[in-house]
Every structure is written in C-alpha cells, then in structure tokens.
Amino acid sequence: MDQGFQSERKPLPSTNPLWNRGREAGFSCCASLEVTGGTYHRTYTNSGGGATGEADPATVSSFRLDKYLVTVGRLRQFVKASNGGYVPSPGSGKHAHLNGGQGLRATGGGYEPGWVASDDANLFLTDASLLCSSGYSAWTSAPGGHEDLPMNCLTWAAAYAFCIWDGGFLPSEAEWEYAAAGGAEQRPYPWGATAPGTGNRYVIYNCNFPNGSGNCTGVINLAAVGTATLGAGRWGQLDLAGDMWEWNLDAYDTYTFVDPCADCANLTAMPTRRVIRGGDYSIDMPNLLASSRYPGSDSTGNGSGNGVRCARIP
C-alpha cells in the first residue's frame, strides 16, 4: 500500500475566521472512525417514521471512515507530491483487508483491480485544473485562508489517488451509504430525522452558509469542515450530507448489477459515470437524504461541489 503523510497526521492551524463557529473541541483534520459492519438496505424511504420500501440488501464488513472531508490544507501536501512525480502503483488502493487481500467483489465476477495505470492522466493536479469554477474554487496557489475548507474541483481519479497516497482507499457506494444511513437504522439523514433548517447546525446546503440567505455568491458559501456539529452520523462522521459531494469507488448503475451485495462494488471497466453522494453546499434537501445517489459526470469530471472522504482498514 502506498504511504503518504499519515505518519504526520496532526491538526492544521486555522486561518479561516469562520472556523470556530460551532467548532467542536479537540479538532483533528485527520481523525478516522470505525464503522461497525452489518447488513442494511440500499434502497429505502424514511420520512422520520421508520424505513419503508426496503430493497437491495447489502452486507458491509467493518471499516474506518474519515471523520471529515479532505481539506485544502491536506490536499496541498498531495499536490506537491504529485507534481514531484508521484502516481499510485498499479493495483494499489484495494480493500486489502477483505477476501485474502483481493479486495471487494467486483461486478461480473472477480475482485477489485485497484488503481489502473490508465487513470494516471486523469489526476489534473495543477493550479489551473483545481480552479474549476470562477469564484467557487477552494484551492489557492499558496496557503492562506482556505486551508480548512473542504477541497473541491476534484476528479474521481484525483480523489482516489489522494486516498491511496494517504494510506487508505475510496469507500464503496455500499460502505458510504451504510455509514450515512446508520446501518440497519436506515436513517433519513445521517444525523437522524430532524429537519435540517437553515441555520447550518446540521448541514451546509442550499447556500445557507454563512447567514441562512440561500443566495449562492461564491466560495464564502463553503464552510470549514465540521462546522455543522449537530450533523454527525451514527459513527461520528461529520458532513456526510452537504458541503461537498463525495466520490465513491463505484461506477454508477442500478443496484441490479449484484443483489444482494456482500462487500461488493460496481467496478465496470471504463465507466462513463462514477457515484457521488451526500450533496454539496448549494444542493436542495432531497439530495441530503442518506439514500440519495447521483452520477458524477464521468471519471475525469470535476466541479465546485466534488470532494472526497477516505476510507481505511478497520
């Protein structure tokens, strides 16, 4: 497994004046929390009165999922490494704790391939590529007031490569949804059934940050990771809904590719769309639901709402 700066995990100093609005004590950007495995349903509806319409069962083994979205400050170290020539080793980034090191069960048989060398060209880690949307990009060419913001404008390949470099891997769609749904609790939102409101306490969405206006004006609408402290999921992860869409490992398709699922992922070769989940700073309420899913434009697409959270061995 490729190793990045995980031996240097430590809190990053804040330079963002909004950083301490509701900030929990003892913040560490790189905390990773264990998600206890189990079985749940990938398809369900829950309006606060309990889950209905349950279908497409999946079993997920225990794993760790980072507490926070990857920040600008964390990614900056990876960009330096990438510009110095780093690319993941072919086959790296597997769920190596599963199936005797072979990883997740793959669509159509076999196991997850890990990093594919053809994705080397899709990293797009330059100042120009990381400034993907005028006025909304979190990246700055030099450290400044954005270091605690969630990193956006990431391609799927860049997200995957970062997680590998950082000693982890991209979560499968089943793993990500399992954590957001609270496993068999099948929660409506990661935090439960409470309506999110517009006060940025549970989630950052619909351009309600920083003042609840609902007006999208620029990067000011992105909140430092962990700002919505009441939005923690069952296992403690924050921002599983809102602030940034999160890239998953899977290609986007119906669940019928493998149903039921046990430590599996849709790993169609050369997909045109990858799964993103959770919604972003500008999205409306339906996309905040733990069961909501959306196709990323393609494996090389980036946007002002595309970020990442890494998973790790338990």
- List Cβ neighbours of 48 (8 Å cut-off, separation of 6 or more): 188, 193
What is the topology classification, in CATH, of domain 33-312? paralog of FGE (formylglycine-generating enzyme) (3.90.1580)
Residues of the chain with pLDDT under 50: 1-23
Kindly list the domain boundaries of the chain, sorted by start residue: 33-312
Q: What is the pLDDT of residue 1?
A: 38
Q: What is the pLDDT of residue 124?
A: 76
DSSP states of 229-278: GGG--TTS---SSSSSEEEEEEEP--GGGSSSEESEE---SS-S-EEEES
Q: Residue 313 and residue 98: Cα distance in Å, rounded?
A: 9
pTM for the full predicted model? 0.91
Report the residue count for the chain. 314
Q: What is the pLDDT of residue 24?
A: 54
Q: What is the pLDDT of residue 65?
A: 98
Q: What is the pLDDT of residue 11?
A: 35
* Sign of the CA dihedral running 38, 42, 46, 48: positive
pLDDT tens digits along 67-85: 999 999 999 999 999 999 9
Tokens matching residue 54: 């349950």
Q: Residue 181 and residue 193: Cα distance in Å, rounded?
A: 11
State the CB neighbour count (10 A cutoff) for residue 242. 32
Q: What is the pLDDT of residue 8?
A: 34
